[in-house]
Amino acid sequence: MKKVLFLCTANASRSQMAAGLVNHDFSGRVQALSAGTNPKGISTLAVQVLLEIGIDIRAETSKHMRQYENERFDYAITLCDQANEQCPVFFGGVQRLHMGFPDTPHTSVANEENLQIYREIRDLIRGRMTEFFNRELAI
């Protein structure tokens, strides 16, 4: 089983959604965890848009990347530019990759505009992770 750590600044939305999606879509083949360079708490909107597609991340919490510094990962993937700059080169094991995604709104207001942005980012992440892990796991 491959092990991946998704990193973002706040570990609130993009990294949380990526871990939830990968754990769901590649269950038994990939174990995904998430952390941040400056964790702020999980986004209620990220939770909501994953629940819409049957993925429950309500039990997740924001974690600092130092929590995982002694663990070995097959991939450490940064999802925002700031995390990419702050993530140490040695961190994460075999492959360190950057897959940037647009930021989500920093709000808990669940209006249609904010939810639509979260859904778009969720779907972008899912598409890119599906493509990446299908290719990586075929090797």
| Residue 77 is a catalytic residue | no
**Catalytically annotated residue among 7, 8, 33, 46:** 8
| Residue 8 is a catalytic residue | yes
Backbone angles phi, psi at 54, to 5 degrees: 85, 20
CA distance 34 to 30: 13
| Residue 87 is a catalytic residue | yes
Q: How many C-beta neighbours within 10 Å does residue 134 have? A: 11
Decide: 1 and 27 in contact? Cβ < 8 Å. Answer: no
Burial 58-85 (b: 16+ CB within 10 A, else e): eebebbebeebeeeebbbbbbbbebbbe
Of 10, 21, 80, the closest CA to residue 49 belongs to 21
**Catalytically annotated residue among 80, 121, 125, 129:** 80
**Catalytically annotated residue among 7, 47, 87, 125:** 87
The answer for residues whose C-beta is within 8 angstroms of residue 117's C-beta and 6 or more apart is: 104, 105
Residues labelled as active-site residues? 8, 80, 87
